Structure 1
Amino acid sequence: MKHGGNIYQFAQQVGCKPEEVLDFSANINPEQALDPASLLPIPFGPYADPEYTLLKQALKARYPHPDGVEIEVFNGASAAIFALLRRLQPRDLVLYAPLYVEYAKIAGQLGCTLHTIDRFADLHAEVPENSTIIFVNPSTPDGRLYAMQALLEQWRQKNCTVLVDESFLDFCSADSVADYIAEYDRLYVIKSLSKFYGCAGIRIGFILAAAEAIDALKRFEPAWKLSTFDMAYMRQALANRPYIEQTRRQTAKRRKLLRQALEDAGLFETIYPGQANFLLTQLKNDDDGYLLQERLAPSRLLIRVCDNFSGLNKSHVRFAVKDEQAIAQLAHALKAIPHNVL
Structure 2
Amino acid sequence: MGHGGNIYRFAERLGCLPEQVLDFSSNINPEQAVDLSCLHDVKLTPYADPDYGLLKQAIKQRYPAPAGADMEVFNGASAAIFALLRSLQPKDLVLYAPLYGEYAHIAGELGCTVQNIDRFSGNLTADVSQHSTVIFVNPSTPDGRLYEMQELLAMWQAADCTIIIDESFLDFGKTDSVAERIADYDKLYVIKSLSKFYGCAGIRIGFIQASATAIKQLKRFEPAWKLSSLDMAYMQQALANTAFIAQTRQQTAYWRDLLHQALQESGLFDKIYPGQANFLLARLKNGEDGHQLQTQLEPARILIRVCDNFAGLDKSHVRFAVKDEQAIARLSDSFRNIN
Give the structure-1-normalised TM-score.
0.98
CA deviation vs aligned residue, 1:18-49 (integer Å, no higher than 9, x gap): 00100000000000001011335111111111
Aligned residue number for residue 60 of structure 1: 60
Which structure 1 residue ranges, 5 or more long, are not aligned? none
1:170-201 CA distance string (max 9 Å, x none): 00110000000000000000000000000000
Partner in structure 2 of residue 183 of structure 1: 184
Q: Is the 8 A contact 1:75 1:204 kept in 2?
A: yes
Work out the number of aligned pairs and report it.
338
Please state whether the residue corresponding to 1:208 is helix, strand or coil. strand
- Deviations for 1:80-107, whole angstroms, at most 9, x for unmatched residues? 0100000101010000001133322211
User: Aligned ranges for residues 15-30 of structure 1 at < 5 Å?
Assistant: 15-30=15-30
Task: Compare 290-299 and 95-104 and name the one that shifted more.
Answer: 95-104
1:66–1:182: 8 Å Cα contact kept in structure 2? yes
Taking the TM superposition and a 5 Å limit, the aligned residue runs for 1:62-101 are 62-101=62-101
SS in structure 2 at match of 1:222: coil
Distance 1:40 1:244 in 2: 24
Which residue number corresponds to residue 203 of structure 1? 204
Matching residue of 2:273: 272
Encode CA deviations 1:118-147: one digit per residue, 9 max, x unaligned.
011111111000000010000000000000
* 8 Å Cα contact 1:2-1:304 kept in structure 2: no
Segment of structure 1 superposing worse, 10-19 or 147-156: 10-19
Q: Which residue of 1 aligns with 2:320?
A: 319
Letter in 2 for 1:82: F
Aligned to 2:233: 232
Aligned residue for 1:234, secondary structure, equals helix
Q: What's the Cα RMSD here?
A: 0.8
Select between 144-153 and 7-16 the one with higher mean Cα deviation.
7-16
The corresponding residue for 2:37 is 37
Query: Which letter maps to 1:27?
Result: N
Residue aligning to 1:331: 332
CA distance, structure 2, for counterparts of residue 236 and residue 119 of structure 1: 37
CA distance in 1, matches of 2:8, 2:280: 23
Name the CA distance, whole Å, in 2 between partners of 1:239 and 1:269: 42
Q: How many angstroms apart in 1 are the aligned matches of 2:110 and 2:203? A: 28
TM-superposed deviation, 1:2: 2.8
Asked if structure 1 preserves the Cα contact closer than 8 Å seen for 2:81 and 2:103, the reply is: no
CA distance in 2, matches of 1:320, 1:5: 10
Structure 1 partner of 2:257: 256
Q: Is the 8 A contact 2:77 2:206 kept in 1?
A: yes
